[in-house]
A and B are shown apart, each in its own frame.
Chain A
Amino acid sequence: MTATTRTALQIRVEAFTFHGETTPVLSGAAISATPGSLTAVLGGSGSGKSTLGKLMAGWLQTGHAGQFRGSLELDGTLLEFRGAPDDPRINPAEWSRRVAFVPQDASAMLSSVRATVAEELAFGLENRATPREDMLSAVERTAARTGLSDLLDRDPATLSGGELRRLAVGCAVIAEPDVLILDEPLASLDAAGAAQLEDLVRSLRGSGTGIVLLSQAADRLAREATHWTILDGRTVTAAGAPAQLAGSAELERAGVIGVGGPGVLGPRAIAPSVAIGSSVAAGVRGPGPVPVAAPGPGSASLELRGVGFGYGQDPRRRGAPVLARVLRDVDFAVHPGEIIAVTGPNGAGKSTLLRHFNGLLRPTEGDVRVCGRSIAGVPVGTVAASMGLLFQHPRDQLFERTVLREAAFGLGQLFGKAEAEGKARAALAAVGLSGTEAAHPAELSASQQRLLALATVLAREPAVLALDEPTVGLDRHGLEALQTAVVRAAARGAAVVIVTHDLSYARLNAHRVLELTGGRLSEI
């Protein structure tokens, strides 16, 4: 099939409302994809990007999931939806041959019951009764395209984030769809992983696939787009060529993160009293990073002395090889008021290092000291009084009925009942979540959930704040809130360790940047 005969997909959304809700989650939006084009839909967290993508891909069944008024046009066939019971029904299996979608959480794309990457790739073909010889060649071809050729025999559960994302894309494109919709494809990928995915997108476009990119960052990939659509407050606020929209007020308001050239992001609004850098955008390399007073001498808030660690033999699998050492002879100290960033590629052991700070993992050699005391043998929950650690997945941490209860959990024991609520409200305000106190945590957008998880850590006022990939999933408003909170915490004397794969963010926002490679930490 040549590019000229490929179909275009068009969607027009008057309104889409989930069942049980009164206000539409998306309204007044129109997008089209033509063969070989790259269309970017940019918007902050909770702007309705994923809903739009799933509607285009037939993942949200109209009538089943919610009420859709609007139209979808594919290959000249127009489907009109009036939110009525006799609306056309989309067969997701048939639709996905033409329009494929890769969700934000790449692992959700996988069947989870296939033992190898090759079988996972073939899963969709099996269900369409593709002859085995054709499957073999399709798997080989798709693997070569997505850079998975060396991983075909691996268990999908053991893939890194970048590999998993490429597998999900592979599963989507193996049926050679006309249009591919990618939801936040670069989130949490390191530079190498992102570059591979960008190459893949270019090669797919080259072969005539129309790409729709849903993203909260106007990153390098988005800047290759032929057309931008900006979503804000669940509706389209601007659309046009990237050159027109870069630096526009609409992009600024939408909370889209900019990368690279000045003007992409536009002017910034951080509270001046706490602004330390010239920019808060992840990935922005601006002039004049972090001129906060360097911390003075004195005892370290967190100190690692000669820490070594290796994941030992899996006790359930005797005979399994002992895995490589993850940390070797790590010496490092953070002082009150200091902000340190630890970077390194995906899989370098950054999260493993972080788990040593509060005793979730115990070193095989060396010692970890928090506020001058060794934490050997001290329970994690006790170390937590001085060590606030924020994990990558906020959902795992949130369990209360309301945002305020969530932030106030356990504060009574630390500060007394009278003060607990005030501390909780202050922490929510510090991350920009004032006004959401009564909401259920699950109702918040992904960006806000992450900030809420941060607030629960901040509210405890720990001496050390350790944040694991805090920028992932945050839109620009979220990044600003994170930035403000980190600077405030450092100003009150907390030592802050930020683990991130984003080197430019690290350089811009930390006093010192350390790199973890080969299990060793070195200053860069």
Chain B
Amino acid sequence: MKQRLHPFTALTAAASAAVVTTAAAYWPLSVAVALAAVFLAVRREVAGRVLPAAAVILTPLCLSLLVLHGLFFPEGQTVLAQWGPARVTAEGLGFALELGTRTTACVLAFLLFSFTVSVPDLVSALAGRRVPPQFGFVLASTLTLLPAVSVRLDRIRQAQETRGMVVRRGLVSRLGALRLQMVPLVLALIDDAGSRAQALDARGFGSPGPRTTYREVADPPAQRRFRAAALVFAAAAVAGRIVASWPAGVPS
């Protein structure tokens, strides 16, 4: 089996990248981080899921940044074009670019983490750090619920199509079909949740007290050192940023 990154190492890397990028506020660095995230996503074969998810989050965000700062940037001096109150200024565009690339880098880094992390490893690592197991369970369920729901919906759709339901193009037909699928889906999910809760109780999940973990997640010393270094680097970047942008007039 390929040596996996400890979940905390991946999480630290993603978080540090986000912090450093934000602190640096230097768009070429943001672009480099974003490109690195895309490169890693391609290498880990998750680009097909990371990129669409990123697009869903980032497209409206970047568009709104462009509209907001590109057109209405009060501090803008270099006017490139003007329509009434809307002025396209070089400063505004620069600011939008800065903010857009920075957000893109952060979003990509965290998406890469969430699509590559092994959820069981993460839950087990959290349990090892005395995080309440309920937290780990909720986290794991959130990540496993969506695939489970989509499998279930697919089965319901098949069963219903088999009863002669033809879903036509068009919103009304699709919404009608969705309504019919929601009833069995919700009933099944409630039913599942009820019986699973009873089983979890019986297996001691709700009991207070200490726990042990069966799964061992390898945490080599090199990764620990990397995490420490990344955290120090991120802290240094933040400190550097604070010093650099200390209000003028205060002697540094």
Which of A105, A113, A130 contacts B123, CB < 8 Å? Answer: A113
Residue of B nearest to A457 (CB): B163
Which of A59, A391, A442 contacts B162, CB < 8 Å? Answer: A391
Residue of B nearest to A111 (CB): B200
- Give the A-binding residues of B (Cβ under 8 A): 45, 48-49, 118-120, 123, 127, 133, 136-137, 140-141, 144, 148, 152, 155-156, 158-167, 180-181, 183-184, 187-188, 192, 195-196, 198-207, 209-215
Is A398 close to B, CB under 8 A?
A: yes
A96 engages B214 (CB within 8 Å): no
Residues of A187-220 whose CB lies within 8 A of B? none
Which of A126, A316, A381, A384 contacts B213, CB < 8 Å? Answer: A126
- Contact A93 to B206, CB < 8 A, known contacts A59-B198, A114-B120: yes
Centre residue among B136, B137, B214 by max chain A CB count within 10 A: B214
Residue of B nearest to A59 (CB): B198
A92 engages B202 (CB within 8 Å): yes
Residues of chain A contacted by B205 (CB below 8 angstroms): 93, 111, 123, 127
Residues of chain A contacted by B188 (CB below 8 angstroms): 395-396
Which of A129, A395, A410 contacts B210, CB < 8 Å? Answer: A129
B196 engages A93 (CB within 8 Å): no
Minimum Cβ distance to chain A for residue B217 (Å): 11
Give the interface segment out of A81-89, A131-139, A294-302. Answer: A131-139
Is A494 close to B, CB under 8 A?
A: no
Is A332 close to B, CB under 8 A?
A: no
Q: List 15 extra interface pairs beyond A91-B207, A92-B206, A396-B160, CB under 8 A.
A: A59-B199, A93-B201, A93-B203, A108-B199, A119-B120, A119-B214, A123-B205, A123-B214, A129-B212, A132-B212, A360-B158, A381-B161, A384-B165, A389-B162, A399-B180
Is A382 close to B, CB under 8 A?
A: yes
Is A128 close to B, CB under 8 A?
A: yes
Residues of chain A contacted by B119 (CB below 8 angstroms): 113, 115
Residue of A nearest to B214 (CB): A122
Residues of chain B contacted by A127 (CB below 8 angstroms): 133, 203-205, 207, 211
Minimum Cβ distance to chain B for residue A409 (Å): 7
Minimum Cβ distance to chain A for residue B44 (Å): 11
A360 engages B195 (CB within 8 Å): no
C-alpha gap A236/B166 in the complex (Å): 47
Residues of chain A contacted by B181 (CB below 8 angstroms): 399
Minimum Cβ distance to chain B for residue A182 (Å): 14
C-alpha gap A123/B205 in the complex (Å): 8
Is A151 close to B, CB under 8 A?
A: no
- Contact A111 to B203, CB < 8 A, known contacts A399-B181, A460-B164: yes
Residues of chain B contacted by A319 (CB below 8 angstroms): 45
C-alpha gap A326/B192 in the complex (Å): 30
A/B interface sample: 14 pairs, CB < 8 A: A57-B202, A59-B199, A100-B202, A112-B141, A113-B144, A115-B118, A124-B203, A126-B213, A132-B212, A135-B214, A396-B159, A399-B181, A410-B165, A442-B187
Is A101 close to B, CB under 8 A?
A: yes
Residues of chain A contacted by B127 (CB below 8 angstroms): 126
- Contact A103 to B195, CB < 8 A, known contacts A384-B161, A410-B163: yes
Minimum Cβ distance to chain A for residue B179 (Å): 8
Minimum Cβ distance to chain A for residue B194 (Å): 9
B202 engages A382 (CB within 8 Å): no
Residues of A388-409 whose CB lies within 8 A of B? 388-389, 391, 393, 395-400, 409
C-alpha gap A92/B198 in the complex (Å): 8
Is A240 close to B, CB under 8 A?
A: no
B195 engages A130 (CB within 8 Å): no
Is A456 close to B, CB under 8 A?
A: yes
Residues of chain A contacted by B207 (CB below 8 angstroms): 91, 93, 127-128
B214 engages A126 (CB within 8 Å): yes
Is A484 close to B, CB under 8 A?
A: no
B202 engages A101 (CB within 8 Å): yes
B196 engages A108 (CB within 8 Å): yes
Residues of chain A contacted by B165 (CB below 8 angstroms): 381, 384, 410
A115 engages B211 (CB within 8 Å): no
Which of B155, B162, B203 contacts A393, CB < 8 Å? Answer: B155
Which of A92, A119, A126, A385 contacts B201, CB < 8 Å? Answer: A92
C-alpha gap A136/B216 in the complex (Å): 12
A112 engages B202 (CB within 8 Å): no
A113 engages B202 (CB within 8 Å): no
Residues of A42-94 whose CB lies within 8 A of B? 54, 57-60, 91-93
Residue of A nearest to B195 (CB): A108
A126 engages B211 (CB within 8 Å): yes
Residues of chain B contacted by A457 (CB below 8 angstroms): 163
Residue of A nearest to B140 (CB): A113
Residues of chain B contacted by A398 (CB below 8 angstroms): 183-184
Residues of A339-391 whose CB lies within 8 A of B? 355, 358, 360, 379-382, 384-385, 387-389, 391
- Contact A318 to B211, CB < 8 A, known contacts A111-B203, A385-B164, A393-B155: no
C-alpha gap A384/B127 in the complex (Å): 50
C-alpha gap A318/B46 in the complex (Å): 9
B163 engages A456 (CB within 8 Å): yes
Is A238 close to B, CB under 8 A?
A: no
C-alpha gap A385/B161 in the complex (Å): 11
Residue of B nearest to A101 (CB): B202
- Contact A380 to B187, CB < 8 A, known contacts A111-B200, A123-B203, A393-B155: no
Is A257 close to B, CB under 8 A?
A: no
C-alpha gap A289/B134 in the complex (Å): 56
Residue of A nearest to B141 (CB): A113
